[in-house]
Amino acid sequence: MSCAPDDDGYPATAHAADTLEALDRRVVDCRACPRLVAWREQVAAERRAAFRDQTYWARPVPGFGDGTAAVAVVGLAPAAHGANRTGRMFTGDPSGDFLFAALHRTGFANQPRATGRDDGMRLDGLRLVAPVRCAPPQNRPTPDERRRCAPFLARELELLSPTLRVAVALGALGWDALLASLGEQGWAVPRPRPPFGHGKELTLRRSEGSGPAPTPTPPATALTALTVLGCYHVSPHNTYTGRLTPAMLDEVLERAAVVAGRRARVLP
Ligand code: SF4
């Protein structure tokens, strides 16, 4: 299934996807944002010299990880020469190198390095998601592009809701997109919306029966408490400057593991 560019109704049909696999298929076929479609394909045509012999993915990037995750990590958008090249969230760029190493140290990933979709990486109890699924120029999606893509994140969170206990938001944009999405799904997000902060923790609640508009296949159980954790984004701007250190990221992931009822494991 595909749609014409600027078909901004297409992501809105995300609610009809009754499994994560069905949602992923809708995501990768989406062409609703003309600017992002043009950019992801231009980057793939020009390529970076180091990847000259590779064929870029050049499509929207679906979520990656455990379909029964207790923890969701919410990023921002694919990187032009990272996920837009490899087709998997955070795979193939310095942000992903930093994140996957931490996921391995804390027991969520079976290996510390992600290089491509066939590298054997498996996530246990955790899923990587993003509010915007296409690489944006300068890593800056417009408000319209964020709004248009929002139904994909909303539906992914709904489909994960039977098991989801914690959402880790990477950076202020991830934080804002996550809280906006959760608010629309009936979670009691405080008003005014709490500002992002590294290490910030919120516990959101909703009563039985509240939530999004009915969908063809609603989640099997209603989650009534969700913890949201803030963490600086794993971008080189933050990690190269020491604003976000491996220890700081480990601490957030360990907290997520504890809240999710997992035994945190931190490798040296
Ligand atoms: S950013 Fe989202 S809504 Fe826009 S084209 Fe990509 S997948 Fe579709």
What is the tens place of the pLDDT at every residue in 6-51? 455 678 788 899 999 999 999 999 999 999 999 999 999 999 999 9
Closest-lying ligand 1 atom to the alpha carbon of residue 40: 6
Which has the closest alpha carbon to 16: 32, 5, 31, 1?
1
Asked if residue 176 is part of any domain, the answer here is yes
Asked if residue 265 is part of any domain, the answer here is no
The Å distance, Cα 250 to ligand 1 centre, comes to: 31
Binned at pLDDT 50, 70 and 90, residue 265 comes out as low
Closest-lying ligand 1 atom to the alpha carbon of residue 30: 8
Asked if residue 98 is part of any domain, the answer here is yes
Sheet holding 126-129, edge to edge: 64-65, 126-129, 71-74, 166-170, 225-231, 201-205
List pocket residues of ligand 1, CB cut-off 6 Å. Answer: 11, 27, 30-33, 36-37, 60, 132-134, 145, 148-149
What average pLDDT does range 129-152 have in this prediction? 94
Q: What percent of the chain has pLDDT over 90?
A: 81
Asked if residue 232 is part of any domain, the answer here is yes
- Rounded CA separation 215/190 (Å): 25
The Å distance, Cα 219 to ligand 1 centre, comes to: 24
Asked if residue 264 is part of any domain, the answer here is no
What average pLDDT does range 122-140 have in this prediction? 96
* pLDDT score, position 185: 84
Given a cut of 60, whether residue 136 has pLDDT beyond it is yes
* pLDDT score, position 32: 95
Domain count, the chain: 1
CATH at residue 85: 3.40.470.10
Residue of 43, 149, 153, 181 to test ligand 1 pocket, by largest number of atoms within 8 Å of CB: 149
Asked if residue 237 is part of any domain, the answer here is yes
CA distances from 54 to 44, 49, 51, 123, 245 (A): 9, 10, 5, 25, 31
Q: Could you tell me if 111 and 103 are in contact, meaning their C-beta atoms sit under 8 angstroms apart?
A: no
* pLDDT score, position 209: 53
* pLDDT score, position 267: 66
Q: Which domain holds residue 68?
A: 17-259
The Å distance, Cα 32 to ligand 1 centre, comes to: 5
Given a cut of 70, whether residue 266 has pLDDT beyond it is no
The better pLDDT of the pair 111, 7 is held by 111
Asked if residue 67 is part of any domain, the answer here is yes
